Amino acid sequence: MDGMSFFAGRLPVDEHGRIRDDVPARPFACAPPSPRVTRERPATVRPASVLWREFVAEVAPLHGVDPVDVLSSRRTAAIALARRHSWFEIRDRTPLSWPEIGRASGVHHTTAMTQAKKFSREAGMPDWRG
């Protein structure tokens, strides 16, 4: 099979077999590529660690805990809930990836993923994937 036989029937040719460039080629028989969802970043992004602290400061009072406790390694129920909520919010409202969120919050990114998903289930949100 020569290299051009792959394109047979798709490329317009003239009577001498030369490819015509004034006529568009027919599309391939395969399906068009599906659109890819991208998380676009603004031109200037604050460091992830700064964003993490801002989200913790915003979410902690909603759960009646001190932001310093959420940033610590303490694991009481109220503090853990506030931490899960913070992970959920930062992923939902910023273009940061899970590894960036994990590094900023000092945990492995799979911990942040699991806990954010757990928060969405506890809050009754349907099938949140983050």
Q: Percent of the chain scored above 90 by pLDDT? A: 52
- Level-2 CATH architecture, domain 48-122: Orthogonal Bundle (1.10)
Cα angle 87, 96, 110; round to 5: 50
**What single DSSP character describes residue 36?**
P
The position carrying tokens 């409202």 is 93
* Res. 16: pLDDT tops 80: no
pTM of the complete model: 0.65
* Res. 9: pLDDT tops 70: no
Confidence of residue 1 (pLDDT cuts 50, 70, 90): very low
Domain boundaries, the chain: 48-122
* Residues 42-87 pLDDT 10s: 666 688 999 999 999 999 999 999 999 999 999 999 999 999 999 9
